[in-house]
Amino acid sequence: MVTDESDEHAVGYQVLPRGTPVETPDGERVGTFDRAIHHYREHMLDGIVIRTDKGRLFVDAPEIARMTNRRVTLTIDAGEVAELPPYRSFLGRRIGG
């Protein structure tokens, strides 16, 4: 798929739209963005929740390379995404895993 990347630009996790494609470093689509988890005490991104064929998965912030208006690029490959923990929430916090 050829896309015009001239209008692609970095965005903050606070404004990233739900449904944005999530890709591996080699461009393989592994899911879509569902929500960001904000670490309130540290005032920073804790991670994101992505929707996949396996359900909702939690991606820790260090595994996110870049967020743009067109995509989220991870630092991990599809095999590592398949091993991510399922996301379960309780008052907006990740539990279990």
What's 64's DSSP letter? E
What's the domain count of the chain?
1
Taking the CA atoms of 90, 92, 96 and 97 in sequence, report the sign of the dihedral they define.
Answer: positive
Does a structural domain hold residue 97?
Answer: no
Asked whether 40 and 24 are in contact (CB, 8 A), the reply is no
Is 75 inside a domain boundary? yes
Q: What is the pLDDT of residue 28?
A: 98
pLDDT category, 1, cuts 50, 70, 90? very low
In a domain, 4, yes or no: no
CATH number at residue 65: 3.90.50.10
Which of 76, 74, 97 is closest to 87 using CA atoms? 97
**How do residues 48-89 score in pLDDT, each as one tens digit?**
999 999 999 999 999 999 999 999 999 999 999 999 999 987
Q: pTM of the entire structure?
A: 0.83
**What pLDDT, on the 0 to 100 scale, is given for residue 89?**
75
**Angle, vertex CA 2, rays to CA 33 and CA 27, nearest 5:** 45
